[in-house]
Chain A
């Protein structure tokens, strides 16, 4: 499924023609460079390798040499990231190596899936991490147990804590995909995609936008 690499900019509100206020996330998708092809013959599968985030002179100085060499070999400008998107033969044919795919790939109203790394929360307790209820706030019988998980097992049978028991631990910084978000608007000249609602990750984080896999067009 073809997709594009972009940057989450932040959120704002847009008013519809009928006056409805719609919360949107602004995703900036600068034209993605077709860095290379993965072909059935050579690699055993077909995919487009897309590069995003053209490097400045400073960035180029900081990038590692072997990576820069890859771009040099292809006669392309160096970019920050390369991602692969599985496509069929037709997809490969449509996008020659060295060409660019712009945000025009998406249309207004189209359902999309957005993937990103969620915000990191560090080590968190069960109330925040698993939405457990904790114990009573105002009861003396709940001495110092207010935000605790409570019992985590039974007695001699089974005599152990079940695997995947929800406990405190590290929260966030995982790959999250939100499915079936709507494209509110596409602003071609500024390479901006407006997505309805929120998308995972902090501001300025890298996001991957794909056409929805479970397209519920009604």
Chain B
């Protein structure tokens, strides 16, 4: 059970507006994550585009794992969903998947490692 005092703390720390900016993406979606990177005293935005292969729901501490193939090498990055370091998240595509955790993608290469687009799938 979530206690009220914890809710208060979490609401104060991660405001409702901040929560609203996070789109409701699902496992299997391809997302673009714009995260803030600070280099010295300068700050810039870095974009990571990949398939969401896992969402660990833990209230404000929720994280999700994004996977992409970069120069032939699989790269996975875990983002805290409500981190103030995340500028925005864009949903690029959705796919119909039958798993909550898409770890099987790690073993697949090339064409097999791609997911079918949900929109295209709907027409079949």
Contact = CB atoms under 8 A, between A and B. Distances in A.
Interface of A: 9-10, 12-15, 17, 19, 21, 24, 26, 28, 187, 190, 192, 194, 203
Contacts of A24: 9
A187 B12 contact: yes
B5 A13 contact: no
B84 interface: yes
A9 B8 CA distance: 12
A10 B12 contact: no
A26 B6 contact: yes
Nearest to B83: A19
Contacts of B10: 12
B60 interface: yes
15 contacts: A10-B5, A12-B10, A13-B58, A14-B9, A15-B60, A17-B84, A19-B36, A19-B85, A21-B80, A24-B9, A26-B3, A26-B9, A187-B12, A192-B8, A192-B9
A19 B120 CA distance: 38
Interface in B78-112: 80, 82-85
Given A13-B61, A15-B82, A187 B9 contact: yes
B5 A15 contact: no
Given A12-B10, A28-B5, 16 more contacts: A10-B5, A12-B9, A13-B61, A14-B13, A15-B13, A15-B14, A15-B82, A15-B84, A17-B84, A19-B83, A19-B84, A24-B9, A187-B12, A190-B5, A190-B8, A203-B3
Nearest to B18: A15
A12 to B, nearest CB: 5
Contact of A21 (B5, B6, B83): B83
Q: Interface residue tally of chain B, by bracket?
A: 10 to 19
Contacts of B5: 9-10, 26, 28, 190, 192
Interface of B: 3, 5-6, 8-10, 12-14, 36, 58-61, 80, 82-85
Given A15-B13, A21-B61, A9 B3 contact: yes
Nearest to A16: B84
A12 B58 CA distance: 9
B59 A12 contact: yes
B122 to A, nearest CB: 38
A12 B6 contact: yes
A29 to B, nearest CB: 11
B83 A9 contact: no
A187 B10 CA distance: 12
Nearest to A10: B6
The 5 closest A-B pairs by CB, nearest first: A19-B85, A13-B61, A14-B13, A9-B5, A19-B84
Nearest to A189: B8
Q: Which of B8, B36, B59, B80 has the most CB of A within 10 A?
A: B8
Contacts of A192: 5, 8-9
Nearest to A19: B85
Q: Which of A9, A12, A190 has the most CB of B within 10 A?
A: A12
A194 B9 contact: yes
A8 to B, nearest CB: 10
Nearest to A14: B13
